[in-house]
Structure 1
Amino acid sequence: MSILSMQRRMLGLVAGSALMTTAYAAEIPIAQDVKDSGQLAIASSLAYAPFEFVDEQGKPAGLDIELAKAVADRLGVKLKIVTIPFASQIPALASGRVKIAWATFSVTAERLAQVDFVSFLEAGTVVSTLPANKERFATQNGLCGASVAVQSGTAADFVADRIVADCEKAGLPAMRKAIYPEQKDVIQAVLSGRVEARLDDSTSAGYYEATSKGRMVVAGRSLYPAPLGAAVVKGDKATAEMLEAALSSLIADGTYATILDKYNLRSSAVSKPALYSNPSQLPQ
């Protein structure tokens, strides 16, 4: 094949890719406020690696940020990040400050009473601890009587309450829950010995085990698997359907898989996004 033929072939592939992206975008129902502003505005804490954090160059990074940027590109608008602490994001939706909180929320019945979700991952809650304690916390009952850290308002916070109740039913000492505002505080509490373990999303905990080179390890199996997704204002179908369609296009053209592979999270992938608005939709 001549150099000219190769150049023509490459131009054809690029043009085909552009046409495919344009075709996907044409099928996405863009919410009116996004059209009017030319922006996809999302709430993010930028404090929960590997999903959202500030990189060494001081720029927003992480799986959630990359997915949101890809969605914005697909819509033909700019991504605007509104930095809001995780525990304040659902109240921010209720007050109208933002329409999307992109924080990889675990979809729970309690949260569905306040907001709707568009899911794009699936994971459970796991115990993360120092290597010396791994066998001790290999089972759920091993947490009974232990001091365990969680981040305020996360799925791990809710799961901790369920474990406390299960310990009581089993006639075992209660697990002592310690609440911290940010993920970094939870991790430091374990590393410093203030608590014996932490509860976290299985994807985040697995990422930290790898990046910390085993300073903290995952113990036991995943508890209470649940869909993960971005939160939207309750009943805002226009925004939810826009996100669902945009994420579907990212899955269809391989962009979604490429981003997940970058963070070693392909095991948490879904075949298609889903809109959750009622607890009856959740796995039992």
Structure 2
Amino acid sequence: MRWILQFSWAAYCLWLLLAPAVVSAEETPLDCGMARGYPPYQYLDAQGKPAGLDAEVAKLVLARLGVTGRVLPGDWDDVVASLRLGRLDFVCGMEINHDREHFFAFTTPYYTRKVVIFVRRDETGFKSVEDLVGKAVAGDRHSFVEHYLKELGLLDAIRIIRTRTKDQSMRMLKDGKVVAVIAPLAVGRLLAGRQGMPVRVIDVGDPGSPVGFAVEKSNDVLLKRLENALEELKREGALQPVLDRWLH
């Protein structure tokens, strides 16, 4: 019996040495997903590092939470899928709408993002969404414009092409591969300017979609932590200068 007790004590001591340290929820590293190719909101800088309004807000929030965190860029569809599959803890800068609320829970929005349709200025035949029927248009899933087209009964009559980035969409517009691009107003203007391509806007009346952080539907603990961090940043005046710098 004595040797059994000695063995058990030795085994227990060994377990204490090898067992991982207990880490609280507040100290657990967090991975935040973001898109790339959506300046000024989410993109990669000249060094290939995450940049833009949403990336900067995410870094502020992670710092406020006091945790080690990573902002991980990727193609938007892959980012959304990774959040649904639990490969990411949260996603920054996601437009909040009814379709997405089936899958994700959102923080209070920290700004709004207006989505429009861009066409080349020299293409005078495109003045309304009805003029796009039968044409190829670059766009995203679940945007305000897509819902607008659905309400009009035109969604299936327009060939919407999904692209990896808005930069790719604008290059396709310049090369004549699509006749229009669905994009946030600030994104489209910036990228069209970089392409040296004059554009016009078809405004479909988007009042501005609310934008916030998204987590898995059941992750109430993390949602509350993100919400509190955002609220503290707003209250202390640390968030508004970031919004002003990127949006104006």
* Fold agreement, TM-score > 0.5: yes
Per-residue deviation, 1:93: 2.1
Taking the aligned partners of 1:47 and 1:67, their CA distance within structure 2 comes to 17
Q: 1:244–1:214: structure 2 CA closer, same or farther, 3 Å change rule?
A: farther
- Percent of aligned pairs with the same residue? 25
1:192-250 CA distances to partner (integer Å, 9 max, x unpaired)?
111111001233224435x5386243413254442122210102122112112211222
Partner of 2:84: 94
1:115 aligns with 2:104: yes
**What is the aligned counterpart of 1:192 among 175, 197, 204?**
175
Gaps of at least 5 residues in structure 1 are 1-31, 267-284
Quote how far apart the aligned CAs of 1:77 are: 2.7
1:36 equivalent to 2:27? Answer: yes
Give 1:228's aligned amino acid: V
Counterpart pick for 1:220 among 197, 202, 207: 202
Q: Write the deviation string for residues 1-47 of structure 1: whole angstroms up to 9, x where unpaired.
A: xxxxxxxxxxxxxxxxxxxxxxxxxxxxxxx53x232x342012333
Cα 1:144–1:61, aligned 2, differ >3 Å: closer, same or farther? same
Note the C-alpha offset of 1:96.
Answer: 1.8
Structure 1 residue aligned with 2:221, among 204, 228, 238? Answer: 238
The residue identity in structure 1 corresponding to 2:114 is: G
TM-score between both structures, scaled by the size of structure 2 = 0.77
Structure 1 runs (4+) greater than 6 angstroms displaced: none
From 157, 168, 188, the counterpart of 1:174 = 157
| Number of positions where the alignment pairs a residue of Structure 1 with one of Structure 2 | 224
Judge conservation of contact 1:148–1:175 (CA < 8 Å) in 2.
yes
User: Quick one: which amino acid aligns to residue 229 of structure 1?
Assistant: G
Question: Rg bigger for which structure?
Answer: 2
Deviation at 1:168, TM superposition (A): 4.6
CA distance in 1, matches of 2:199, 2:71: 32
**Superposition TM-score, scaled by structure 1 size:** 0.68
Residues 137 and 121 of structure 1: CA distance in aligned 2, closer, same or farther (over 3 Å): farther
| Aligned position for 1:160 | 146
Long gaps (5+) in structure 2: 1-23
Alignment-mate amino acid for residue 149 of structure 2: I
Deviation by residue 1:25-81 (Cα, 9 ceiling, x = unmatched): xxxxxxx53x232x3420123332222221113322111111111112222233312
Residue 136 of structure 1: how far off its partner (Å) = 4.3
